[in-house]
Amino acid sequence: MNRLLTGTVLTVLLSFQAQAAEPITREHIQQIVDITDAATKNQDTAGIGEYLSETFQRVIEFVHKDKYIAKVRIDKKKYLELIEEGWPTLEEYGYQREDTSIHIMPDGSSGQSYSTITETLSLRGTRMVSKYREHALYALEDGKPVITQISGHTLLGDTMRAPGK
């Protein structure tokens, strides 16, 4: 009887573990992309933040003094603060995602996406267009798919002031 009880408890515990280890899917990632894109277009910082991991990092690389590439890491709280502070300063904002490619890691525990992002904005009368290649990492956090990191690089020659401005 004791063996039967022990076996039953182990079976139940293992089934809970199997449920908790549900793999992330392409559909999970596409859903996050669609929801956060809509939130970005609507300048909805809270909507973006809803799908960022608690350990989220935004990695920004830029050329420093024309000599080397500097890398800055921003956590979730600071990233959302910067976005929230930036929206009111914009006179115009446009956002478009293209060429998205989604990949799931072989063990199903995480995934990644690559996309080309084009942002158009006007700030203090100057209209600018920026095009960059985004790389995002995803995982399940408490069973919910979230973005754990976003990084990318500007496509040279594609960041410019709009013609005539």
pLDDT of residue 80: 97
Residue 161's identity, in one-letter code, is R
- Domain assignment of residue 130, yes or no: yes
Non-local CB neighbours of 81 within 8 Å, separated by 6+ positions: none
The residue ranges of the chain whose pLDDT is under 50 are: 1-2, 4-20, 158, 161-165
CATH number of the domain that residue 43 is part of: 3.10.450.50
Tokens 């020659």 sit on residue: 157
Residue 110 in domain: yes
Question: Quick check: is 17 in a domain?
Answer: no
Tell how many helices (H) and how many strands (E) occur in the chain: 4, 7
Residue 89 lies in a domain: yes
Contact 123, 91 (CB under 8 A): yes
For residue range 58-85, what is the model confidence (pLDDT) as tens digits? 998 877 777 777 788 999 999 999 999 9
Please check whether residue 84 lies inside any domain of the structure: yes
The count of structural domains within the chain is 1
In a domain, 18, yes or no: no
Q: Which domain holds residue 104?
A: 23-161
In a domain, 146, yes or no: yes
User: What is the reported pLDDT for 153?
Assistant: 83
Answer whether residue 14 is part of any domain: no
What's the pTM?
0.79
CB 92 within 8 A of CB 122: yes
